[in-house]
Amino acid sequence: MTYKIYLSPPHMSGREMKYIQEAFDSNWIAPVGPNIDAFEEELCRYTGSKYALAVSSGTAALHLALLALGVQKGDIVLCQSLTFVATANPIMYVGATPVFIDSERITWNMCPNALEESLRHYIRIGKRPKAVIVVHLYGMPAMLDEILYLCNQNEIPLIEDAAEALGSEYRGRKVGTFGDIGIISFNGNKIITTSGGGAMLSNNAGYMKKARFLATQAREPTEHYEHCEVGYNYRMSNVCAGIGRGQLEVIDERVAQRQANFNFYGSALSDISGIRFQTGPDHRFSNRWLTALTIEDRQIDPTGIQNALLGQGIESRPVWKPMHCQPIYKTLPRFGGSVAESLFTRGVCLPSGSNLNNDETKLISQIVGTCF
Ligand SMILES: *Cc1c(COP(=O)(O)O)cnc(C)c1O
């Protein structure tokens, strides 16, 4: 399917080619090289993380995060239910069991009350969870104070899935740097891209060393090739890291452009009481990767809005289908109510690319408006 307007297409800055050319000129066409080292350093500078590891995808970064924390077969990992499936799948890769936690209505992310209930339950039965994975959905920072408090109190490590949230801040600090480990994605649809890629962030040297080792085939520091553990081939290519460097130079502009989209939709649709946008109260700064909203007017079907947009060649998307509703995961334990499900059934994500122009956001707002 080709669209006239895409949901979140790549947006090149023009600066990527310089770094790609350098990779070609120096013949570093490999998963090592100067662009990777520089990209990791630049990610640390931008996010404030002490360490960064550039890898082949956000999913790989999550897998490495779980391995670095020592999550194993039979362990329990508490995971936000309302998310893309890549948040949960790595829990299965390591043979652990995901337990899904409902969302709260404000930021749409992990509900601290449901998290607390699940922690109480598992600690009571003597099965302390090995990690918690919180997501900053569509760029919106989760209830980090409350979640960090619960994790610290129970001595359970926190992984932040900030795949969609590069540039978002909580209390003036970049998300992805609050948990023991954070991950970001540079997939083609994310706020900046390396065509495909991801990164793991941490202030913990031990976790970082372990992840770097496992991402490079668990090769022991010997001249001959010696291996004591099963490793992975998860490093980012030096060519892709060059794309990332050219993209990271314009991240502030990209965040501002996505926020401008959100602000435009917000004011253009402000008269419609049946629409509620994902909100970011108190100390939150969302990169507004996607402008997400729910249709509160029960007479209006969200798929009708999507179809109206589709009729004009405009791509939109439902809110993620919660993991506890997915055929592969629906038999697993879950905590909380039905907030994630109602966000899914009532939600729509509007086109949010940083390359949208005013005519396009105006047209999209008009089409949405006429549905009411
Ligand atoms: C995109 C995404 C991922 C996975 O990132 P990839 O780079 O595509 O592997 C993980 N979690 C969330 C919430 C995402 O949106």
* Residue 212 sits in the same domain as residue 113: yes
The rounded distance, in Å, linking the Cα atoms of 115 and 121 is 10
- 218/275 same-domain check: no
Residue 318: predicted pLDDT: 98
Q: What are 313-342's pLDDT values in tens digits?
A: 999 999 999 999 999 999 999 999 999 999
Closest ligand 1 atom to residue 62 Cα is 10
State which residues form the domain around 295: 251-370
CA end-to-end span of the chain, whole Å?
Answer: 27
Per-residue pLDDT of 14-71, as tens digits, reads 999 999 999 999 999 999 999 999 999 999 999 999 999 999 999 999 999 999 999 9
Q: Based on the domain organization, do 147 and 274 belong to the same domain?
A: no
Identify the domain boundary among 206, 222, 248: 248
Distance 61 CA to ligand 1 centre (A): 10
Can you tell me the distance from the alpha carbon of 332 to that of 100, in angstroms, rounded to the nearest whole number?
8
Distance 162 CA to ligand 1 centre (A): 8
Rounded to an integer, what is the distance from CA 372 to the centroid of its chain?
A: 31
Average pLDDT over residues 104-108: 96
Angle at 295 (CA atoms; ends 135, 366), nearest 5 degrees: 110
The DSSP letter of residue 30 is S
For the stretch 354-368, pLDDT in tens is 999 999 999 999 999
Q: What's the gap in Å between 60 CA and the centre of ligand 1? A: 9
> Which residues lie closer than 8 Å to 72 by C-beta, 6 or more apart?
94, 95, 96, 130
**Relative to the CA of 60, which ligand 1 atom is closest?**
9
Which whole-number Å values give the CA distances from 121 to 75, 81, 253, 335, in the listed order? Answer: 15, 18, 45, 10
195, 226, 248 - which closes a domain? 248
Tell me which residues have their CB closer than 6 angstroms to ligand 1.
57-59, 83-84, 86-87, 135, 161, 163-164, 185, 187, 198
Please name which of 124, 121, 132, 123 lies closest in space to residue 71, comparing C-alpha atoms.
132
Instruction: For residue 282, give both structure tokens.
Output: 């108190």
Q: Cα 154 to chain center, whole Å?
A: 25
How many Å lie between the centroid of ligand 1 and the Cα of residue 87?
Answer: 7
Ligand 1 pocket, mutate which of 55, 80, 84 (most atoms under 8 A from CB): 84
Question: Model pTM?
Answer: 0.97
Same domain, 105 and 179: yes
Structure tokens at 252: 């502030």
pLDDT at 112 over 90: yes
Q: Structural domain tally of the chain?
A: 2
User: Can you read off the two tokens belonging to residue 124?
Assistant: 């009571």
Within-domain flag for 140: yes
Domain match, 232 and 258 both: no
Amino acid (1-letter code) at residue 23? A
- Ligand 1 atom nearest 190 alpha carbon: 1
Q: How far apart are CA 119 and CA 335, in angstroms?
A: 10
Which of 89, 181, 185 for mutating ligand 1's site (highest number of atoms within 8 Å of CB)?
A: 185
The set of residues, in sequence order, having a beta carbon less than 8 Å from that of 206 and lying 6+ positions away, is 68
Other C-beta atoms closer than 10 Å to the C-beta of 267 total 10
CB-based burial of residue 298 (10 Å sphere; 0-12 exposed, 13-18 middle, 19+ buried)?
exposed
**Does 205 share its domain with 270?**
no
Which helix (H) or strand (E) covers residue 291, if one does?
A: strand 291-295
59 three-state secondary structure: helix
Q: Residue 304 corresponds to which amino acid?
A: G
For CA atoms 292, 298, 304, 305, the dihedral sign is negative
